[in-house]
Amino acid sequence: MKTSKGPKLIVVPWLEGGGAQGALEGILRQLGKENVRLVVLFRGSRNHESTMELAEFVTELECRRNPLGVLQASRRIQPFLGSSGAIYSLMRASHLVLGLVPRQLVVNKRLAATFHQLPSQDSSTILGKLEDVLVKRGVRFAGLITTPSSRAIDELIKGGFGTINNTRLEHNLIHVSSSPAVPPREGRIRELRLVFAGRITRQKGLDRIPKLLKAATTPVHLVCLGDGEKREELELMSKHVGSLHKVEVLPYVTDIEPYLDWSDAVVMPSRWELNPLVVWEARARGRGTIASDIDVFRDLSGSGPIWTFHNESAFASVLEKLATDPTERTRAFNLALESFKQLSTRSSIVEYLDV
């Protein structure tokens, strides 16, 4: 019988203000601060003060993000594993580190793990395929494996990361204010207000923005919120979008609600995703998402307002539709709020760790 006696240990590779961090905060709020230890494995975290405040104890191991650092992290984490009763591993890199620790440190513990990317995406390189061996080893004793994507469930089971008995869908939990959602603007809109919020990386596709806007005849005011390795490039690009459009690059913020309420829609020109937290944050405020035509957004379009585009012309058409058709904005507003209401507000991860 696996026990949960002892502190609850939350293992994360890093925290950079992204969707996985937001999902973790949702879990920590339900789990409660008492007797919860958060261990951050690798150096380079930022914008994570709000997460650290939700745990009673926080330790940052400051290992490097390379093979030697992974080995070092697997050694430094062992004392925390030994004294814990329940363990939650947040992302693939955490599972990778757990795959290197002695089995006796986790075999009798209540272990839960979450995957925040599609396994096929993580395994697309030779290194990724090699890491899969350790990732599977890291979660082999997990009683619960979750992911916020039905597509990922199929891949996890087919790939041998989990089984039909321990793998389940769990949508990311988000923090919702009690203030009512701001209705969409009325009439024809002269300048469309768009918001991007997230890590500014190649994955998010923000380098596509100048080309997309060049094809658009609808004036756009785009606000980009976040940090990341591509931030400087985005700041430079924002100065070269032409006189018709305006792009603002602002720092990471802990509360994006005012920006969502200001906006007409969220924009996500991503190259790949799983189930972006910001889509649901937007739906909670009655806003839809303009997104690249990839699998995840086609999947999400079945549950709420998503306008996908596969090229610059299609992007321009979506903008024109939203700017000129108030009924479309009202439809999206109502559908977004209804979609958000369908989400579960209780975490199976919390229930599993609390036993």
92-116 tens-digit pLDDT: 999 999 999 999 999 999 999 999 9
pLDDT of residue 29: 94
CATH number, domain containing residue 276: 3.40.50.2000
Considering the domain architecture, whether residues 230 and 120 belong to the same structural domain is answered as: no
pLDDT of residue 248: 96
Considering the domain architecture, whether residues 219 and 90 belong to the same structural domain is answered as: no
Integer distance in angstroms from the first to the last C-alpha of the chain?
12
In a domain, 211, yes or no: yes
CA nearest to 307, candidates 324, 334, 328, 327: 328
Cα–chain-centroid distance for residue 108?
30
Domain endpoint, select from 144, 173, 202: 173
pLDDT of residue 201: 95
Considering the domain architecture, whether residues 72 and 131 belong to the same structural domain is answered as: yes
Give the tens place of pLDDT for each residue, 157-185.
999 999 999 999 999 888 888 899 999 99
Considering the domain architecture, whether residues 197 and 332 belong to the same structural domain is answered as: yes
The answer to whether the beta carbons of residues 249 and 197 sit under 8 Å apart is no
CA nearest to 195, candidates 179, 182, 186: 182
* Residue owning tokens 């380098």: 207
Considering the domain architecture, whether residues 280 and 223 belong to the same structural domain is answered as: yes
Domain endpoint, select from 122, 140, 173: 173
Considering the domain architecture, whether residues 217 and 286 belong to the same structural domain is answered as: yes
Tally of structural domains, the chain: 2
Considering the domain architecture, whether residues 200 and 287 belong to the same structural domain is answered as: yes
Positions of the chain with pLDDT under 50: 1
pLDDT of residue 3: 55
Considering the domain architecture, whether residues 204 and 85 belong to the same structural domain is answered as: no
pLDDT of residue 126: 92
Going from the C-alpha of 193 to that of each of 80, 123, 326, 330, the distances in angstroms are: 47, 37, 14, 15
pLDDT of residue 323: 98
Considering the domain architecture, whether residues 14 and 156 belong to the same structural domain is answered as: yes
Considering the domain architecture, whether residues 207 and 147 belong to the same structural domain is answered as: no
Domain that residue 131 falls in: 8-173
pLDDT of residue 344: 73
In a domain, 237, yes or no: yes
